[in-house]
Structure 1
Amino acid sequence: MNAFKMTPSRRPASWGKSIIHLVFIALCIACLFPFLVIIGTSFQSENDIVKFGYSVIPKNFTFDAYRVILHDPGVLLQSYLVTIVTTVGGSLIGMWVTTTYAYAISRKDYRYRSFLAFFIFFTMLFHGGMVPSYILMVKWLGLKDNILALILPYLISGWFVLLMKGFLQTIPDAIIESAKIDGAGELRIFARIVLPISKPALATLGLFFALQYWNDWWLTLLYVENDHLMKLQYLLIRVLKNMEHLNSAEALQYGLVKPGMLVPSLSARMAMCILAAGPMLLVFPLFQKYFVQGLTVGSVKG
């Protein structure tokens, strides 16, 4: 035997792989470019946008759009607080409700499995409608101007239940049966065995819930009239509506712009996109690995 082994030289990358890499790099740049335009335009003045158009690199760097939006920071911070509370609380409760429901219909030895599965599937096909939902929330439950009205309607979704059910069905029955032989109860099996195994699916589910609660403005429009309970998305929509009817004289009177400046309505739209989507863009990379794994594993069984 030879004392030294020859290390195989690395084969040069084929032209096919190089072309595929270049195509994906071009796609990434194409997807990233609009977001860079939004960031750059948010720091442009209205005069520069009218004169030169949207740009990645502002010709005259200014915070006029953010100054207009943040002229009353207390309201914005309050809406951020409401949005964070509803997003975190609704996501955690929704994950628990969805996972327990999905676990029940994924167990083949559960007597009412078929009925509950049909019940959740039926709600995916037929919806009660806006008027019955409003009567239920306001008249029967009395949740007008209540933070629970921003959480309860999204606690469970048929599609989320079926997604979680698909993942839970991949857990071998032998694990649950061995735990029962050791004397573990159903709640202990669910909390100590099923949930730790389901971390990828839970991360995926949590991300879906977080995006749903964070981007919601419809529930605020329906059930909230108190300004202290406004969510961020609805507040930004209302600010945008107010700016459409705000002329330069009024903006100058309130100290929002300087003399000779236009009201930064176009750049304010971009600034609102950054303020609304920024936190979710920072959270998504943390869950990306679990997000992909949860979707692929959960799709093995339907």
Structure 2
Amino acid sequence: MHHKTMGDRTLLTVFYITIIGFALICMLPLWIALAASFTNELELIRNGYSLWISQFDLTAYKLIFTGTQSVYRAYSVTIITTIGGVILTLFLTSSLAYPLTVSTLKYRHRITFFTYVTMVFNGGLVPTYILTTRMLHLHNNIWVLIIPGALNGFNVFLMKNYFSSLPEALSESAKIDGASEIYIYFKIILPLSAPILATIGLFSAMGYWNEWFRVLLFIDDQKLFTLQYLIMRLQQQAEFLNSSLSAAARAALGGATVPTIGIRVATAMVSIGPIVLLYPFLQKYFIKGLTVGAVKG
């Protein structure tokens, strides 16, 4: 058995201290934002951000959840689009990536080329809007928040390279036993691809969870507003209200100030919760899937 020398123990101690210090530095902005979300707005304006809550105030959260039904509805829309989008993304991406690794597929190099071209060029905003609203008729439809972002060339690139890194002997032996490509895909390839599936699933989940631009373009029905779009509108309305209040109006309200800073950090805390909770469960797959998918050619 190898015994650690004094130098080894010292080096490990330095590594642990460095990692812990780096983790605390990364968590510091999150903690400051959390403390600011519970701090009185005037206190934030006078003294700025702090590590501790000097004057506890729930006004920002009360304003966010004043229309609780709309907030909860936006949460449900975001959760539905995120779950549905991740499932569709993984299915479409793996369904395109796996055939591109099969040497017997005709024109696979041309298909690969056209797939990668989409990483560099796109049709532009106006053609996309016309296609989505007039041809696909997805205006004010929840599917417009799911389908357009379900497939992109970068994810196909990562997953194709990961599939290529798997031993070819697995699929060849299965073919000798009479297995079809679909059987190999579902029963052999996908079960061995948990790291890359988790990695792309996390990427797509973050994209769907933070979606607001498509809502701005294609959604007018308030029942289909996502959480991020609702938060953006809430922040804009709070800033407009705060800037438009006259001195007489402030005096009539007892000098009250609309907590624009508090709303900004409070909405950040409300919106990042599920993603922060999801990441630890996928972390063990994330690094492996990303490195193997990106490096292996």
TM-score interval, normalised by the smaller of the two chains:
over 0.9
- Does the alignment pair 1:301 with 2:296? yes
What is residue 117 of structure 1 aligned with on the other side? 112
Tell me, in whole angstroms, the C-alpha distance in 2 between the residues paired with 1:90 and 1:261: 42
Is the 8 Å Cα contact of residues 137 and 143 (structure 1) preserved in structure 2? yes
Q: 1:252-302 CA deviation, whole Å, 9 max, x = no partner?
A: xxxxxx744321111111001001111101101110001111112223422
Paired AA for residue 281 in structure 1: V
CA offset at residue 174 of structure 1?
Answer: 1.4
1:44–1:267 CA contact under 8 A, matched in 2:
yes
Does the aligned pair in 2 maintain the 1:170–1:300 contact within 8 Å? no
The separation in 1 between residues aligned to 2:2 and 2:26, in whole angstroms, is 38
The superposition leaves residues 23-67 of structure 1 with CA deviations (integer Å, 9 ceiling, x where unpaired) of 333222221111100000000011111222111211122211100
SS at 1:220's partner residue? helix
Which is worse superposed, 233-242 or 168-177? 168-177
Secondary structure at the aligned position of 1:109 is classed as coil
> TM-score with structure 1 length normalisation?
0.91
Between 1:21-30 and 1:283-292, the stretch displaced more is 21-30
Aligned equivalent of 1:11, options 2, 5, 27: 5
Residue 164, structure 1, aligned to residue 159, structure 2: yes
Q: What secondary structure does 2:258 align onto?
A: coil
Answering whether residue 95 of structure 2 is matched by residue 82 of structure 1, we say no
Aligned residues: 289
| Counterpart for residue 138 of structure 1 | 133
1:271-282 paired onto structure 2 within 5 Å = 271-282=266-277
Question: How much does 1:8 deviate?
Answer: 7.5
Q: 1:9 to 1:135 in 2, by over 3 A?
A: closer
Give 2:40's aligned residue.
Answer: 45
Instruction: Give ranges in structure 1 of 5+ residues lacking alignment.
Output: 1-6, 251-257
Alpha-carbon offset, residue 76 of structure 1: 0.4
- The aligned residue for residue 254 of structure 1 is none
Quote the sequence identity (%): 38
Deviations 1:203-233 (A, max 9, x none): 1111111011111111100100000000111
- Alpha-carbon distance between aligned partners in 2 of 1:248 and 1:157, rounded to the nearest angstrom: 41
Task: Identify the range of structure 1 (275-284 vs 51-60) with the bigger mean alpha-carbon deviation.
Answer: 51-60
Q: Residues of 2 paired with 1:8 and 1:27: CA distance?
A: 30
CA pair 47-14 structure 1, distance change in 2 beyond 3 A? same
Q: Helix, strand or coil: the match of 1:100?
A: helix
The Cα RMSD (Å) is 1.8
**How far apart in 2 are the matches of 1:209 and 1:249?**
39
TM-score of the superposed pair, with normalisation by structure 2: 0.92
Q: 1:10 to 1:263 in 2, by over 3 A?
A: same
SS of alignment partner, residue 183 of structure 2: helix
How far apart, CA to CA, are the structure 2 residues paired with 1:35 and 1:134? 36
**1:228-253: per-residue Cα shift (whole Å, max 9, x none)?**
00011111000000001114997xxx
CA distance in structure 2 between the partners assigned to 1:9 and 1:208 by the alignment: 42
Kindly state the Cα deviation for residue 16 of structure 1 after the two structures are TM-superposed.
4.2
Where does residue 224 of structure 2 map in the other structure?
229
Residues 8 and 126 of structure 1: CA distance in aligned 2, closer, same or farther (over 3 Å) = closer
Quick one: distance in 2 between partners of 1:275 and 1:166? 36
Matches within 5 A, 1:1-302: 10-12=4-6, 13-247=8-242, 259-302=254-297
The answer on whether the counterparts of 2:242 and 2:260 sit within 8 Å (CA) in structure 1 is no
